[in-house]
Structure 1
């Protein structure tokens, strides 16, 4: 989810914690637990700092180690240790519990969007991306704001937040069933489909869908349970050629391929420069595919320039290629 949603979820968890008798009966604990849930709701995304290095490192590692199984326990221990040290409270077990709930909930909700996480590391590096909830979901965010507003005007926070999370749990079930229906529609239209990649949008009735068959990839949109076709491409696995093998040595393209499950690739040659371009088909927006990886090679197949990340115009991409070094 987006940062704003994680923030309001952390505050709401702090309100929910007031149902815990231990928190309710210790005057020092409510503030300490609120601090723990807010930090815990943000902690797994501290790896965003990797953007300062480069996009390849960020794409390969974001939502990786910091969202892994060990992180579920490491973050709460660090948070609890820091809060206990600075507040002097002796009830560290309760702080540990609620910080764990906050970290777990952060990782759990992240697996429901199309980006996903590597939540099973170190047991598996597979990306778990269920494609059910958009990165920013207005219903989830606004429902939290409503609940927090009720708390602000005097409602008891525990019962309000409990009702909030019951509603959101039902909302998730509805979205899971909605996505399942989209996949079924795609498979009925293409019985030979080997993969159906679904990405939610901010619109409940609109889904980005890529249907892959043994020979063709269809880029479509499902709106109101009807498929609309945009483009189709031949499904060509990456061939074993000198050009593509050289390009795959580049860190930017390697990071892209570690993350993207469905893409198309093409090569261009101009003025002695060979350009290898990969685009992720899941994120089509206004006729454009914004998540890309580009590698430019010289006549000896050495990398000259490369880039991976989000760009929304060809002009912006060329500017990035001019400043990004291999």
Structure 2
């Protein structure tokens, strides 16, 4: 989920924690648990700082080790130890318990996004991505804001957020049901599909679709269970040519390939360089595929420049590759 949703979830959890008698009866425990719930709901995303280094490192590592099983166990212990230094009168067991729930909830809700997490590490490096909830879901965020307003008006936070979270359970079940309907329709339209990725959008009844069979890629949209295939491409295996093998050594392309399961590729030869481009087919927006990896190599197959990330125009891509000054 996005940062804002994780924050309101942390506040909601702090409110629910007031139903714990041990938390409610001790002001030091109440305050420390609130801090633990809010910080614990954010701490797995500390790897966002990797974006300051470069996109390749961020793409390869975001929601990786910081969302793993060891991290879910270690973050609460670390936060509890730090918070307890400032609130020695707090109940350390309950401080750890609610901080653990906050960290676990963060990782748990992230697996419902299309991006997913490596939540099963170290047992598996597979990305767990159920693809039923958008990274920012206005309904989930909105109902938390409503709960926080009710709390601010004087209602008991625990009794406010318990029914809200029961409603959210039903909401998640409805999202799974809606996704299954789209999947059934895609299977009907592409009966020989070998892989189908259905990703949510911010709009409840709209989904992105990327699918493939042995010979083609398909890109589509679904709205109100009506599936429309917008693009299709011949599925051409990536050959082992000198240009492509040299391009694969680039850190940006390597990071892209570690993340993107459905993509097509292009090679263009210019007067004094080659351009290798890999295009993720999952994120079509306004007739454009914005998530790419591009590598430029000179005629001796030495990497000149490269980029991976989100680009919504060719001009901006050229600037990222320093083709256009400024």
Query: Shorter-chain TM-score category?
Result: over 0.9
Alignment match, 1:289:
289
Provide the TM-score with structure 1 as the length reference. Answer: 0.97
Alpha-carbon shift at residue 90 of structure 1 (Å): 4.3
Alignment match, 2:2:
2
Asked whether the 8 Å contact 2:32–2:90 carries over to 1, the reply is no
CA distance in 1, matches of 2:89, 2:103: 21
Q: Give ranges in structure 2 of 5+ residues lacking alignment.
A: none
Provide the TM-score with structure 2 as the length reference. Answer: 0.97
Give the secondary-structure state (helix, strand or coil) at the position aligned to 2:115: coil
CA distance in 2, matches of 1:298, 1:125: 35
CA distance in 2, matches of 1:130, 1:301: 39
Give CA-to-partner distance per residue, 1:161-211, whole Å, 9 cap, x none.
111111111111110111111111100111101111111001111100012
CA distance in 2, matches of 1:152, 1:305: 52
CA distance in 2, matches of 1:141, 1:229: 31
Give aligned pairs, total.
Answer: 324
Give CA-to-partner distance per residue, 1:237-290, whole Å, 9 cap, x none.
222111111110000000000001111111001112110001111010001111
CA distance in 1, matches of 2:43, 2:236: 40
CA distance in 1, matches of 2:247, 2:254: 9
Give the secondary-structure state (helix, strand or coil) at the position aligned to 1:145: helix
Q: Give ranges in structure 1 of 5+ residues lacking alignment.
A: none
Q: CA RMSD in A?
A: 1.1
Give the secondary-structure state (helix, strand or coil) at the position aligned to 1:282: coil
**2:138 pairs with 1:135:** no
Give CA-to-partner distance per residue, 1:224-249, whole Å, 9 cap, x none.
11111221111122221111111100
CA distance in 2, matches of 1:216, 1:201: 24
Alignment match, 1:93:
93
CA distance in 2, matches of 1:200, 1:7: 21
Asked whether the 8 Å contact 2:10–2:38 carries over to 1, the reply is yes
CA distance in 2, matches of 1:95, 1:70: 19
Alignment match, 2:194:
194
Give CA-to-partner distance per residue, 1:92-134, whole Å, 9 cap, x none.
1101111110011100111111111111111111111111001
Alignment match, 2:253:
253
Alignment match, 1:183:
183
Aligned structure 1 segments of 4 or more residues deviating by more than 3 angstroms: none
Alignment match, 1:13:
13
Alignment match, 1:209:
209
Alignment match, 2:157:
157
**2:314 pairs with 1:317:** no
Give the secondary-structure state (helix, strand or coil) at the position aligned to 1:37: helix
Alignment match, 1:37:
37
Alignment match, 2:279:
279
Give CA-to-partner distance per residue, 1:277-306, whole Å, 9 cap, x none.
011110100011111100001101111000
